[in-house]
Amino acid sequence: MPRGALQNRQDCEDFIRGCLFMGTGGGGGIEWGMEMLTAALDEGLSIEWVDVSEIPDDAWTCTPYGMGSIAPPSAETLAQIERLGLVDRLGHRAMEVAVQELGRYAGVEIGAIVPSELGAGNTPAPLITGVRLGIPVVDGDYAGRAIPEEMQGMPYLYGKNSFPLASVDRWGNVVILKEACSPHMLERIGKMLAVAAFGTCTIAATLLSGREMKEIIVPGTLTRCLHLGRAIRQARERGDDPVQAAIEHTGGWLLFEGEVTGKEWEDREGYMIGTTHIKGTGRFAGHGLDVWFKNENHVSWLDGQPYVCSPDLVTIVDQETGEGFTNTVIDAGHRVAVIGIKGLEAFRSERGLAAAGPRYFGFGVDYVPIEEIVG
């Protein structure tokens, strides 16, 4: 049966590179993702995923993910942690505990793990959680990119409940959310738990049968991330343009090239929210691109006019290496290329745009499909 694997450090680096690219500025950091993967390799664990067809229809599946802001902790936050005498008891293993707690509460055996999204940290985390627990991890996810909220995922789009859920933070606090009155309140409660935990917590949620999971999953995305990361690296090694290699591999478009002139941001209610400003260079000289993010990039303006927006993807990468940036680290002086990719067709529906389009994020901008903008 179809199966993917990360067999060595090079595979892990390629996988992280592809996940980072598809994370569109969010999705967790490279260091966190690589630390989890290489630790598992060093322990001799087999890092594998399985084709969706291998999961029985009657198996229980769940989705573990990180919840919280990607903003770096402030000095005040670090002082509060020290003042309370908090000790990191669980670290990267908090997600394993969350899966176990959810299964225990629901009285079911978890038969498969489904990543919620793509990202340099947020895809390796559920992958390694499954590896360590001996639970198959599906080659696919529920967003086809990184997303900031419950509402931008396929379970929401198709009316699937994400409760009950188990939340576990690195300090060892365990919370069961039995029921939520709406997906928006479930998202809010989860973010408040992350705020209470001084940044992030891990959650196990979305109990679905194998049959239900197969109806809504975006299949094959883990394999595609591995191949994308490999294509970017190999282009560099050949002396080819890695940005062009990424564009060809994803079927995307070059939206802009330039130098980051600044970034303003704030850590608000469990999200990193802000705007990156880019001054055009080369054939884009004399133009400017602004990219608004809520953890991930979602709305852009070219010379002050609305440009590519979610649910289509806006990814900012290093102009020379093709390596993606998270919004945590991108800063003034970085020379970048901006790549646009068509998002999931399902989110171009009325319900999808109401949850993932620019108006959902508070902007008076009508969504226009990327292929109409750049075609």
- The Cα–Cα gap between 316 and 324 comes to 6
CATH topology of domain 243-374: CV3147-like (2.40.390)
Select from 362, 178, 129 the least CA-distant residue to 268. Answer: 362
- The order of strands in the sheet holding 305-309 is 305-309, 296-302, 288-294, 271-280, 253-268, 335-341, 313-318
> Distance of alpha carbon 354 from its chain centroid, rounded?
20
Position 335 scores a pLDDT of 98
Whether 71 shows a pLDDT value over 90: the answer reads: no
- Token representation of residue 247: 């564009």
Select from 69, 63, 5 the least CA-distant residue to 273. Answer: 69
Q: What is the mean pLDDT of residues 257-286?
A: 95
Residue 270: band (very low, low, confident or very high) from pLDDT cuts 50, 70, 90: confident
Pairing of strands 47-50, 165-168: unpaired
Q: CA-based angle 300:221:72, to the nearest 5?
A: 50
Q: Residue 285: how many CB atoms within 10 A of its CB?
A: 10
Residue with token string 């529920």? 142
For residue range 297-306, list pLDDT tens digits in order.
Answer: 999 999 999 9
> In this structure, are residues 316 and 289 in contact, taking their beta carbons and an 8 Å threshold?
no
CATH topology of domain 3-219: CV3147-like fold (3.40.1610)
> In this structure, are residues 90 and 41 in contact, taking their beta carbons and an 8 Å threshold?
no
Domain with CATH 3.40.1610.10 in the chain: 3-219
> In this structure, are residues 209 and 58 in contact, taking their beta carbons and an 8 Å threshold?
yes
Query: Going by C-beta distance under 8 Å and a sequence separation of 6 or more, which residues neighbour residue 49?
Result: 3, 4, 5, 127, 136, 137, 138, 139, 222, 223
Q: Which residue has the higher pLDDT, 234 or 270?
A: 234
Position 2 scores a pLDDT of 53
- The Cα–Cα gap between 252 and 4 comes to 24
Position 164 scores a pLDDT of 98
Backbone angles phi, psi at 353, to 5 degrees: -65, -30
Q: What is the mean pLDDT of residues 194-221?
A: 96
Residue 1: band (very low, low, confident or very high) from pLDDT cuts 50, 70, 90: very low
Residue 269: band (very low, low, confident or very high) from pLDDT cuts 50, 70, 90: confident
- The Cα–Cα gap between 72 and 60 comes to 35
For residue range 82-104, list pLDDT tens digits in order.
Answer: 999 999 999 889 999 999 999 99
Q: Residue 375: how many CB atoms within 10 A of its CB?
A: 7
Select from 220, 223, 221, 301 the least CA-distant residue to 255. Answer: 301
Rounded to the nearest integer, the mean pLDDT of the chain is: 96
Instruction: Report the percentage of the chain scoring pLDDT > 70.
Output: 99
- The order of strands in the sheet holding 165-168 is 110-113, 60-68, 200-209, 165-168, 174-177
- For residue 311, say if its preceding peptide bond is cis, omega within 30 degrees of 0: yes
Query: Going by C-beta distance under 8 Å and a sequence separation of 6 or more, which residues neighbour residue 181?
Result: none
For residue range 233-261, list pLDDT tens digits in order.
Answer: 999 999 999 999 999 999 999 999 999 99
Position 68 scores a pLDDT of 82
For residue range 3-19, list pLDDT tens digits in order.
Answer: 799 999 999 999 999 99
